[in-house]
A = this chain, B = another copy of it.
Amino acid sequence: MINKKAVIVLSGGMDSVTTLAYAKDRGFDCYTITFNYGQRSLAEINSATYYSKKYNCIDHKIFNIDFTKFSNSALTNNKIEIVNDNDDEIPVTYVPMRNIIFLSIACSWAETNNVTDIFIGANAIDYSGYPDCRDNFLDSYEKMVNFGSKSGVEGNKFIIHRPLVAMKKNDIIKLGHSLGVNYLQTVSCYQATVDGKACGICESCLFRKKAFEENELADETLYI
């Protein structure tokens, strides 16, 4: 268990913070990486900084990548209204290739630091229909990255850990609480204020609210 190191993709939301706590609990010293990609909610980045310090991470990198230059997602384009979808379609908040790009930059940084354990809080149950959150995608990604990297080719295979992938939101909160996570600083809202207050009505807020309710826990969220 000595000197195990991991890179955690840390958005500052509940899932990624739970994933960080999980990795720490499993004995990993953690590097965290957060992407500033023109998302509406800069409060997420403050949350990521807060939890990186709280969990004594080796280094926290904030990486700028401007999706607004090549994508039309409502998450990065203020002109598109965020609406809640009640059907099975992929919603307007989908950002093409987001997790692929995030994982690849995380793996690049990991390889530079001789790290092969990557953690991502991707979740395919109470998710929003994003294809890049599914288990079979992550399997496929892991295979690909080991074909396409020095580390993988030389036999130091990357492992893409996705401990939450098959968990429901309320089980994620349950896990987090068992690990001592306090979610107050986490940001889930798609349109949170700069100081981290949530709208309470977007899809992501509704998932979160329901999860606290189902666990009969006080809702650790600041609303506007």
Contacts and interface: CB of A to CB of B under 8 A. Distances in A.
Interface in A119-147: 131-132, 134, 136-137, 140-141, 143-145, 147
Contacts of A151: 96
Given A131-B148, A132-B149, A144-B140, A96 B100 contact: no
27 contacts: A61-B69, A61-B70, A63-B66, A63-B69, A64-B66, A70-B108, A72-B112, A90-B150, A90-B153, A96-B108, A96-B111, A97-B105, A97-B111, A97-B145, A97-B148, A100-B107, A100-B144, A100-B149, A101-B101, A101-B104, A131-B148, A132-B149, A134-B147, A134-B148, A140-B140, A140-B144, A140-B148
Interface of A: 61, 63-67, 69-72, 90, 94-101, 104-105, 107-109, 111-112, 131-132, 134, 136-137, 140-141, 143-145, 147-154
